[in-house]
Amino acid sequence: MMENIRSRFWELVAFLKERAAARGVPPENFDAETAKMELASGGHNLTETGWHLANLKYTGAILIERVNRADAVMLMLHVRAWLDDHDDTRDDSKLPDPEVALVPLDAGDLVDLVISCEFVDPVFIVEADDGELVWNGRKFAPIDYDLWIAERGRVNQAPAVPEV
């Protein structure tokens, strides 16, 4: 059932692994982990998705070892672009920008790229006869939710996004 709790960090990791591999970074030079987790109340409100039970707040860290400096800079830009396009909780949660470090390895052009980024993943649950989570005397199971991103819209009759 845990696969139903969306993790933006692990989505970013999967994306960045693909981008790093495309730049010739071997898989053994890529590592990621989460730390500093907090399980905050989600407000316990009923939404179209289900009950918003909690918000999982955490820091994700990515280490890409022995990468060309130019490739490291491009991977940093991929992180920023991915967050802008795929992390719908950053603004509402007022999350800080990712912290990035390039650690020189020698007199050459190789560096270790270290990326640290905070995330908030909402946890939604729905009532389920076979759910293992008991809350308010009923059984529930975590559920994934669809992310709908508006591509066009109008605010006070003016385009909210420039029309192309």
pLDDT at residue number 49: 80
Residues 47, 127: Cα–Cα separation, whole Å: 13
Poorest-confidence range of 38-47, 77-86, 153-162? 153-162
Which pLDDT score is estimated for 161?
Answer: 52
Name the pLDDT band for 98 (thresholds 50, 70, 90). very high
DSSP states along 52-85:
EEEEEEEEEEEEEEEEEHHHHHHHHHHHHHHHHH
Per-residue pLDDT at 93: 92
pLDDT at 47: 85
Give the residue-averaged pLDDT of 32-52. Answer: 90
As a whole-number percent, the residues of the chain with pLDDT over 70 amount to 85
Q: Is the pLDDT of residue 153 over 50?
A: no
Residue 135 pairs in a beta bridge with 138
Of all helices (H) and strands (E), which one includes residue 93? helix 90-93
Mean pLDDT of the chain: 87
**How large is the greatest C-alpha to C-alpha distance in the chain, in angstroms?**
63
pLDDT for residue 109 is more than 50: yes
pLDDT tens per residue across span 47-97: 888 899 999 999 999 999 999 999 999 999 999 999 999 998 899 999 999
> Quick check: 159 pLDDT over 60?
no
Q: Which residues pair with 121 in a beta bridge?
A: 56
Q: For the whole model, what pTM was predicted? A: 0.80
- pLDDT 10s digits, 114-141: 999 999 999 999 999 999 999 999 999 9
Identify the band that residue 6 occupies on the pLDDT scale cut at 50, 70 and 90: confident
